[in-house]
Chain A
């Protein structure tokens, strides 16, 4: 009895092994057969290896007291000292809060706007007008932040700016847009919308054109007006696209645009405008604290990764397709 069960067990084991082996050789055979196709992803792989993975080697210095002339191999190890310094510093919560608030503005205020614009453009029947508007709202995307921030500066300054001149003319008080920290966030998100909203419509418009026109016809037969068609056909049809883009956006949680924020940053709005990116730049490159700023950047990257995983999990929970 016992021997039979043993042999049965062994047999099962053998079989599993066999299957595994077969599977492996099957995979291998397929890989071999399609090697040209696999070769085609090589440039992409190499790109990611060289520019995304190799530089991660440098993260080591966040656990060291890095001195450039000693190199990574020669610098002293300090463990988590830089991380504890970050969490203990008075600035940490301020930066964390600012980053999260700007992120919230991006998700809740900026993100829906391209969708709304796409839906509205989709309803425009006059194709010349539609294309004209589309082209016009793309244009700001090609302007650099320096230009956008400078133009805002010239318009908003108290010393001869046109906005304050108009306010004064209308009998209102001057508003100190540039130095008042209450104005930083509105200014930030309005500039983001102005520059990016048009560009953001591209993918949504493409998704909308893929919707089966028969659905609209059927809906019209049933007496649905245009708003109903939009609500019950267009929106559900592009829901997948919206969710994928939302997840990607959340992945960029801490990429709020270094250049943009850094240009807007000044002595009097630092309390609301300092974010991880600007902090890393100032501490690392301007003040030469290489290890500390690497630790800050490392932490930021970790938070970003956690957010993507969370968003993806959430999407799957809601029976939607995630990105992986």
Chain B
């Protein structure tokens, strides 16, 4: 018979085995690849949750450089971009948010508004002036991120609108087409690229526009602003109404429907992923791409590797039927970082973290986090940065860290990029040019409780209906019915609340 002591040991062992197994499977399933990095001898350690746009967790070489220069011990929880919001909500629901949390965009920010108002995050406006670099952040952008006049977040700057058309210049030249300046010419280009054999292969192996399952950052919203559709919300007869109650929205749907029915657009675009969408352009199946014009660099790099004769060009000003050009804008920030009180316990801790972000905004550290290490990942040419030709290297070691930078070149002093490629230079110019034609979202500074609670669920109904209208599964009456449903299930309340808070 085994004595009692032995029994206890066995039970304990078994128990610890279970607990251990539980833990290990837990950490395996989580996507954190964060590395505490080299111990820089600082006891100021904290964790940042940031989104990862590349498939792999980056090498921690850059992180060590940043840690050294800022004298902080940082851990980064990398979360893949496509399930960032799920993880964020899960961490929030289980009260396990780290000290510094990045929010992907405005939509996620709105979801947290309730918690912010409840005082779950540190108000940082009062400290901004104590930090030399943070105080340089643009006031008008900070204004867009305030909740009831208080500041809770630092922002990562983005151009207000980089939306435009990227197209195959060599195809257009083959067919004698100029860059489209109206939506009709855009349609004509899509038709010609589909039907007139732009690559002169003698077979019918091309189509016009390549799009993906994203009505906002895909082509739809940008084309909608050419037609004059408001940005999310717009004013009609003195009242703020959602974009899909405007005729221009329906015109855009009809425009897409025409392209869809004629095969000028990939037929499975409602289920196409971004890599697949870009692949059509890169491999010479499609000739038009509507999105961020800056993407022309990476698209060109990959396309030339397949076919050296590829030539891209960019275009922004495409006028709608009313002869006006407009383009939707974001509120000047991409992601935002905020600081939960649940993990940042004292003001002292907060100061340490803000100090880190303050140092992230010095030119030296900003360059490290954006461009990498000089001589290894980039060269300085005429006061601008030229990234290394070894794209795989910069993708692996540098690019992910762009996610934790804040501010923009004007405020953090990092280098702008060298224009070694004409289309890129043009894309930058047109992005600046876009600023003269911006369509802004009038609800950025407004508040609606129903929108915070049910907005994304309701929006999903409209998104589905828009796709189904374009591919012909529902007709206009069917679309109107969905809009009615949107209104009755909470949309009317949102309209009312937005109009009341104006």
Contacts and interface: CB of A to CB of B under 8 A. Distances in A.
A186 interface: no
B464 interface: yes
Interface residues of A, number: 36
B267 A266 contact: no
29 contacts: A47-B18, A50-B18, A68-B93, A68-B95, A69-B95, A69-B342, A159-B266, A159-B267, A159-B268, A159-B272, A159-B285, A176-B268, A179-B471, A179-B473, A181-B473, A267-B213, A267-B270, A267-B467, A268-B464, A268-B467, A270-B464, A282-B460, A285-B85, A285-B90, A286-B85, A286-B86, A286-B89, A288-B93, A289-B457
Interface string B458-469: 001001100110
A157 B268 contact: yes
A69 B457 CA distance: 22
A90 B458 CA distance: 12
Contacts of B266: 158-159
B270 A268 contact: yes
A290 interface: yes
A42 interface: yes
A289 B456 CA distance: 11
Interface of B: 2, 7, 11, 14-15, 18, 22, 85-86, 89-90, 92-95, 111, 114-115, 118, 120, 213, 266-268, 270-272, 280, 285, 342, 453, 456-457, 460, 463-464, 467-468, 471, 473, 485, 489
B456 A287 contact: yes
B198 to A, nearest CB: 17
Contacts of B467: 267-268
B271 A266 contact: yes
Interface string A27-67: 00000000010010011001100110000000000000001
Contacts of A69: 95, 115, 118, 120, 342
Nearest to B265: A159
Given A68-B93, A287-B456, A266 B270 contact: yes
Given A179-B268, A267-B270, A286 B456 contact: yes
Given A36-B2, A270-B464, 5 more contacts: A42-B11, A68-B94, A268-B467, A282-B460, A290-B93
A288 B464 contact: no
Contacts of B456: 286-287
Given A286-B86, A287-B456, A288-B111, A267 B18 contact: no
A71 interface: yes
Contacts of A89: 489
B275 to A, nearest CB: 12
A160 interface: yes
Nearest to A70: B118
Contacts of A285: 85-86, 89-90
B464 A176 contact: no
Contacts of B272: 159
A178 interface: yes
A42 B342 CA distance: 37
A283 interface: yes
B471 A268 contact: yes
A87 interface: no
A275 to B, nearest CB: 16
Nearest first, the 6 closest Cβ-Cβ pairs linking A and B are A158-B267, A267-B467, A267-B464, A285-B86, A159-B266, A69-B120
Contacts of B15: 46
Contacts of B485: 90
B458 to A, nearest CB: 10
B98 to A, nearest CB: 15
A37 to B, nearest CB: 13
Interface string A157-175: 1111000000000000000
Nearest to A47: B18
A27 to B, nearest CB: 22
B14 A176 contact: no
A310 interface: no
Nearest to B121: A69
Nearest to A176: B267
A96 interface: no
A93 interface: no
A283 B270 contact: no
A129 interface: no
A153 interface: yes
A195 B332 CA distance: 48
B92 A90 contact: no
Given A267-B270, A268-B471, A287 B18 contact: no
Contacts of A181: 473
A43 B18 contact: yes
B93 to A, nearest CB: 5
A178 B213 CA distance: 13
A161 to B, nearest CB: 8
